[in-house]
Amino acid sequence: MQYDLGMSKRWVIRAAIGAVVIVGAVVGIAIAQRPQYEEGTNVVFFGDSWTEGYSAEPHAKGFAYLVGEQMVWDFTVDGRAGTGYANGGNGGKTFIDRMETVTDTDAQLLILQGGLNDESQPLPAVKRAISDTLEAAKFHYPNARIIVLGPAPSSLPLTDSLRAIDDALKSAASAQGIRYISPIAERWITRGNWANVISVEGLYHPSTAGHEYLASRLARDLKGFR
């Protein structure tokens, strides 16, 4: 199964994370005293087609790009359509699979977005994949604070399966001491604004205006974390 790291790989990752924690304890106080999201921070936006900027004209008007520019970050956008925690999409690569090719290990902040593409997967598999992915993210981005950005509904009413994924992400992030932003709990997309945010012609992805709106909501939350 694609989401499974394999016992040996998980053991190596957990051992490496333990070593990072020991080293981090020495410098943790100094890091905590610095502004978390100051200008020039090296940031990676990692996720699915929403992160990619799909349906925005051009893609560089996607929410990730807009937030990176607004916050004046040194940022990279790594979004790939169809992918998720347990769903590899057309390319057959889950988030963990994609992280194995990461080269920018100096990132100071990782914003990990996704979950919508996992609705077709069995919930127990998604839960395991989420937990494994968060561990992998700590391993592949050893210097980064991690923020998990959950899915927002592309259509309404909200499905029970998407709500369950949102709950699973919240639980896993909490268990690993990672901040979680839930567009579902915060009601980013409602019946009142859905038509202004989601483009039917864009295969139920955010429109250009929708990406601008999502960027404003995410930036607001991030600034609240200072």
Q: What is the mean pLDDT of the chain?
A: 88
DSSP calls for 121-162: S-HHHHHHHHHHHHHHHHHHSTT-EEEEE----SSSSPPHHH
pLDDT in tens, 13-27: 454 444 443 334 333
Domain range list for the chain? 7-29+40-224
- The whole-angstrom separation of Cα 73 and Cα 69 is 6
CATH superfamily of the 7-29+40-224 domain: SGNH hydrolase (3.40.50.1110)
Length of the chain: 226
pLDDT at 17: 46
pLDDT in tens, 131-144: 999 999 999 999 99
